[in-house]
Structures are given as C-alpha cells and as structure tokens.
Amino acid sequence: MTQKTSYPSPLLRELQENGFTVIRSLLTPSELTTLRSAADSLTALARAGSWPYIRTVGKQFPPWPSTPPADGSGIWGVQHLLHPDLPLPQASKDAFLKLYFSPSILSIAKQLLPEGTTDDDLVMELFNMLVRPDKDFALSWHRDDIPATASAEEERQRLVPATKPRYHTQWNLSLVDNDTSLVLVPKSHTRPRTDEERAADPFEPDMPGQLVVELNAGDVAFYDNNILHRGVYSSQKERTTLHGSVGHVAGAASGKRARNVLQHGVGEWVERCDFSALGERGEEARERAEGMRERLVRMGRENKDVGFSLDG
C-alpha cells in the first residue's frame, strides 16, 4: 500500500500534485486601482519606445530587442518593475515595490517553498509584466528551463518529483478580469512529455488534458515553471498581468536557479534599488527586502556567464 504524502499546506499540496494553485481576490480594490494605474502608465511608455526593457512580439525567450518591432506588432511584456530608473512617479514605483515584497505574496511563497522556510531563506528574483500585444501572438508549448529538444530521460532527470521540495515559486497576478492567457497541462511538471505531446505542433491549440487558467482582477496563480505550458495573447483582449518569482537560498546556493533568473539582466541594476518606502510598514519589512536582495546579489557573484535557458 502506497503511503500518502503529507503536506503542511493545502496550497503546497495543489502545487506539488497539480503543478499550479490559484488564490482568488488577493488584492483590495484600492490596491488594484493603484497598481493598474502604474501598470497602464508603464505599458504606454514601453509601447512608445520610452522604456527599453520589453518582450517583443515574435520572440519568445530572452534576450529581447530594446525597441518595439517596426512592423507594428508590438510588445507582449514589460521587464524590470523594480528597476530604480523606472520612468514613473515615485508613488507608482513604490506600488510595485510594496506588492512584490508584500506579506500576502511572501507568505504564500513561504508555504510553497521547502517546509520551514523563513524570511532569511527568501531570495529576490524577477518582477515583470505581461500585456496585450498589437498583433495576435502565442508562445509555443514549453518548460521554462528545459529545452524542447530534451529526451524523456533528460526531462526525467531535471524535473522535480511531487514529493521533493521546490526552491523557487513563480506567479501571475492579473489586474484585469477575464485573463485566460495561461494554458497548461496539469501534473506535467513531474513527468516527461508523452509521445503525443512530443509529436504535437509546438503551437497545438488543443493539447490533450490542457487547462486554461482563468483569472479575474486580483487573482493570482502560482505555478511550477517547468510545467508544460504556453501563453496565448489576443490583440483584441486587454491583458495586464504582473509576473514574478521568489527563490529559496538553497536553490541559489546550488546554482539551480542562477541561469533562469540572471539571464534577464536583473543583476545589472538590483544593487541600486531603494527600499526605503518599505519602512512605512516597519523596519522588519525593509530589512527582509534587503536580505532578499543580498542573497540575489550573492547568487550573481557566484554564477558568472550563465547564458540563456532556451532559444527562440
């Protein structure tokens, strides 16, 4: 008789067994209004070519060009919401800062990381945004840190079993209703692709067993970044989704996360971030953020020339 695995949190059980978990209405109406205003302003600047850190239509993985495509197809993402040079009013910059380091986000992250995780284990990672393109665009089926060319045995070696702890957690938090862009195959985060999945078109619109993750404003989905998934972006449907990740010091120390995080260029500016606004919540909040940053900086110092996870 197989012994059933015991999990310290229902959210962790969902993530470990299914590869994702959704928390509804994480934000207050006031928080939504403030973040949506900041996000809309930054997106407009990025579309106009006034913010160089973007994800351009036609290119799925980093590195991306620093200007929108000349053909008018637009962008599908905005990078580096914590960058000190973000061309926004301080209040808008502080809104992004307070959300990323908020107790609501970090308390969930600690539940999804190894049991017993404390503030001293957390590592600052990525905070970006996914937006509506000007031309319909889709990402192919992929795992974020395992190439499509990997054999079944290679996948088996790199995927983390459901019974083992994970050293990072990734999330999508929608600021608008009816976000249906994230499509994934539940439970595919712990197994190699099936023969049918391997033979499928990279942009297969109806993969067997797929699920469309439906988010409304304020909902957040945490998911394993090596679950089989894709993004579907409609030019006719608004999307404003904050896209972040938090790591665990054990993963950073082993170098397991370095490439996936540092390939985005966060190490170029993170030491200049100003966390003073977090002091409004007490020195503990600011000190927690400073510690998370220091562990990211340390990961960068210990892992040079990491390259890029995937091509395309």
pLDDT attached to residue 204:
98
Side-chain half-sphere of 20: how many Cα atoms within 13 Å? 24
Break the chain into its structural domains and give their ranges: 15-302
* Structure-block tokens of residue 268: 């170029």
At the fourth CATH level, which superfamily is domain 15-302? q2cbj1_9rhob like domain (2.60.120.620)
Residues 122 and 299: their CA atoms lie apart, in Å, by: 12
- Which distant-in-sequence residues (6+ apart) come within 8 Å of 154 by Cβ? 146
Kindly report the backbone phi and psi dihedral angles of residue 141, in degrees, each rounded to the nearest multiple of 5, phi listed first. Answer: -65, 130
Per the CB < 8 A criterion, the answer to whether 224 and 189 are in contact is: yes
User: Cα 243 from chain centroid?
Assistant: 4
**Runs of H (alpha helix) within the chain:** 10-18, 29-47, 90-100, 103-112, 152-158, 195-199, 249-254, 258-262, 283-302
pLDDT attached to residue 254:
67
Number of C-beta neighbours around residue 85 at 10 A = 12
Bond into 63 cis (ω within 30): yes
- Which distant-in-sequence residues (6+ apart) come within 8 Å of 185 by Cβ? 197, 207, 208, 209, 210, 211, 227, 228, 229
List the 54-56 sheet strands across, edge first. Answer: 20-23, 220-223, 168-174, 240-248, 122-131, 75-78, 54-56
Walk along the chain (312 residues) and give the pLDDT tens digit of each residue.
444 566 789 999 999 999 999 999 999 999 999 999 999 999 999 999 999 999 999 999 889 999 999 999 999 999 999 999 999 999 999 999 999 999 999 999 999 999 999 999 999 999 999 999 999 999 999 999 899 999 999 999 999 999 999 999 999 999 999 999 999 999 999 999 999 999 999 999 999 999 999 999 999 999 999 999 999 999 999 999 999 999 999 988 766 677 778 887 888 899 999 999 998 878 999 999 999 999 998 988 887 765 555 455
- Residue 312's closest CA among 82, 108, 139, 193? 139
pLDDT attached to residue 256:
63
pLDDT attached to residue 310:
46
- Residue 120's closest CA among 304, 32, 247, 234? 247
Give 247's strand partners. 123, 168
- Indicate left, alpha or beta for 92 from its phi (over 0: left) and psi (-120 to 50: alpha): alpha
Residues 156 and 189: their CA atoms lie apart, in Å, by: 10
